A and B are shown apart, each in its own frame.
Chain A
Amino acid sequence: MKATFPHLLHLDIALGVLYPNLGVEIIIPPPITQKTIEIGVELAPQNACFPLKVTLANFVEGIELGADTIFMAGGVGPCRFGYYGPIQKIILEDLGYDVNFVLLDHPRYGVRPFIKALQTMAGGRVLSSRVIKVANLAWKVLRLSEDLERERRALRAQVKDPQKLDEIIEGALERLRTVDNEKTFQSIKEETMKGLENLERKETEDLIKVGIVGEIYIAQETKVNFNVEKILGDLGAYVHNSVSTVEYVLHTLPFTRSREKLEAWKLAKPYLKRFVGGEGIDTVGSAIRYAQEGFDGVVHLYPFTCMPEVVAKSILTSVSKDYDLPILHLAIDEHSGEAGLVTRVEAFVDVLERRKKLKKRKLEVS
């Protein structure tokens, strides 16, 4: 068995740590490029949401490198993500690919298929001490990869040499790929954090602060969202992203809950009373939290026509009014152009800066 899986930011690093240690041979799909996107657009239903197209192309590119098995997660709705699996499976079958599509679905679709899928994905066993140890290490790697990105977003506008910042982070991510024990992991972590601390800072005062909210894939995957967070950072903004795979996993597992998500859901309640699939309610709640924390603006990133996010967008209009919070909505799909997007982000940052100055002047006068 040679298994492949979809990309989601640095998920491949964590799974690359997990699988070889479980004795499962994996093929990491090639990094997402324009070609990947073209493959997805050609094969997927025209009006499907963008993540379905890109992840389908990941599978095709993985198969072309020799994968014969696909690992995919399922879902119970109401967002389309939970139905990606069956659609991608039938498309691959019709293309003539002879692959084993392993769909890890909610146990409510059958406990036996769930355990079977889990067993296949865990290389035969489910709960041996070895599996637990390796899974724990992979989990830490995933967490650290997110922490590093958090640092990168926060620091880009503050350091003198952003290129150096990228080098440190990219270097650390590369080293994480080959981690196979706790000790190496810790040393990578410590060295990287020290490296970041030692980066020379600019004399900055009062950076504008921008929060990112939105759908889990598009808001995180910098290879398809034109790296909006880098554009923002280069324009001098302190950036924070509320979307996190770690929190998503915590919230999905049966015995853990994401505190961050629960908090966001509570904040969203006056506007959106219930879960509407995907990250719809998180988007609303996180935007409110950014407003309360004094952020200057919010960028909303989501796939074009995404159902939960279109609901969130409708509701954010009144959040924006009530909290006097500028929100830039960016819907991403294969038709999004980089030039147009950059212009919109630049204009948005301009507005935020002017507002900030105006507010400050008002404060001084009073």
Chain B
Amino acid sequence: MKVGIPRGLLFYRFYALWKTFLEELGAEVVVSPPTNKVIIQQGLTYAVEEICFPAKVFLGHVLYLKDRVDLLFIPRLVSFHKREYNCPKILSLPDLVRNLFGVEEERIIGDEINMREEGIRGWRRGFLNIGKHFTTKESKIMKALEQAEKAHRDYQNNLKKGMLPENLIDHKAPLLPREKKIVLLGHTYLLSDSYINMNITKKVNDLNYSVITPDMVEETKKRYYLSTISKPSFWTISNEIIGTALYYLKEKKPEVRGFIHLVSFECGPDSLVGELIERLLKREERSLPYLRLEIDEHTGEAGLITRLEAFVDMMEWRYSHLESHVSSSTSS
């Protein structure tokens, strides 16, 4: 049985897990190709205007797969962290696909994965239900999940070591390591889709910086720093972004020179969390520069490069200024 996984939204986070799980259950997995112009155009045609750009791109990938596979893998990821949620759009993906494209319910694997109340039990139940599309043997499903979780841990560990999803999924050669770092904040699906982010990681690398993404930071560290604010958000990915920002803000690593926050224009959580991060940064003494880059279907590459270069210039000027200031004040 051919099962299609649309390359968008949470795909970049759960790629290894989903692929392994489905293959262990005997499915032939088809992943849609990297985002291209046609996929974006199709997404734009079908999606309502105001939905966020990554959701439109996701819908474009679904459309690509729709008639090429037997089943579409669009699980309803309500929550993958206790007491937290994903955003409303992610919560409704299987419904959006059904209603916008008229895909029959039987052709969508849209079972709910929800750790919000029950934690790991909600996770397991979700995968058990997904597995039942392929087999009635629960033991087989749980074994597949075990294998999948192992692949997921390996995937995450590789990300922690500084690999990007594109290195692991498409085996692209890693970028050159640089001494100076920029923390690249944002949802994994924006940071990892080099077509819609206009290859920002490469552009930053060409400017002689390496990026650090939230995926590269230890979970416990992100969660610790998150807990220092009075009310964390209820969106898991946003919380990871806040935690990452605070971690590098407070630990003041000399190689980390600034933050770039990639957001999509219509993203609800980003609109609030971006503001929060910017204000928390401003409050800090000897803070780090912060640039917010908004991405949507109208973003032009030239403008993005200009803003990026101006930011890096400013960052370097500021750094050398602060350094000379600090050294002169300590020597006097």
Contacts and interface: CB of A to CB of B under 8 A. Distances in A.
B329 interface: no
A274 B231 contact: no
Nearest to A273: B95
A74 B51 contact: no
Contacts of A46: 271
A46 B96 CA distance: 27
A283 B78 CA distance: 20
A78 B279 contact: no
Given A83-B233, A83-B234, A280 B78 contact: no
Nearest to B271: A47
Contacts of A181: none
Contacts of B272: 45, 48, 52, 80, 83, 87
B241 to A, nearest CB: 14
A176 B231 CA distance: 37
Interface stretch (B81-89, B124-132, B247-255, B315-323): B81-89
A59 to B, nearest CB: 16
A317 B268 contact: no
Contacts of B48: 310, 313-314, 317
A85 B231 contact: yes
B235 A77 contact: yes
Interface in B226-270: 229-231, 233-235, 265-270
A258 to B, nearest CB: 20
Given A90-B279, A108-B83, A271-B95, A305 B89 contact: no
Most buried by B among A49, A85, A90, A306: A90
A336 to B, nearest CB: 13
Nearest to A329: B48
Contact of B50 (A74, A86, A305, A318): A305
Interface string A249-279: 0000000000000000000000111101110
Contacts of B215: none
B205 to A, nearest CB: 29
Given A80-B272, A82-B234, A311 B88 contact: yes
Contacts of A307: 87-89, 268
Given A87-B272, A103-B231, A78 B85 contact: yes
Given A86-B276, A274-B76, A314 B47 contact: yes
B100 A317 contact: yes
Interface string A120-152: 000000000000000000000000000000000
Nearest to A281: B92
Most buried by A among B102, B229, B234, B282: B234
A304 interface: yes
A172 interface: no
A1 interface: no
B274 interface: yes
A276 B85 CA distance: 10
A166 to B, nearest CB: 34
A114 to B, nearest CB: 12
A317 B229 CA distance: 41
Nearest to A80: B268
A80 B271 CA distance: 9
Nearest to A89: B230
Nearest to B268: A307
B47 A278 contact: no
B99 A317 contact: yes
Contacts of A109: 231
B30 interface: no
A311 B272 CA distance: 19
Interface string A313-331: 1110110000000000001
Contacts of A271: 95, 98-99
Nearest to B233: A83
A91 B98 CA distance: 40
30 contacts: A45-B275, A46-B271, A47-B265, A47-B266, A47-B270, A48-B275, A76-B85, A76-B234, A78-B86, A80-B271, A86-B276, A87-B275, A87-B276, A90-B276, A90-B279, A94-B279, A103-B231, A271-B95, A277-B91, A278-B88, A305-B50, A307-B89, A310-B51, A310-B266, A311-B89, A314-B47, A314-B48, A314-B100, A315-B96, A318-B100
Interface of B: 47-48, 50-51, 76, 78, 83-89, 91-92, 94-96, 98-100, 102, 112, 229-231, 233-235, 265-272, 274-276, 279-280, 282-283
Interface of A: 45-49, 52, 74, 76-80, 82-83, 85-87, 90-91, 94, 103, 105, 108-109, 271-274, 276-278, 280, 304-308, 310-311, 313-315, 317-318, 331
Closest 7 CB pairs of A and B: A77-B234, A47-B271, A78-B85, A45-B275, A307-B88, A276-B88, A307-B268
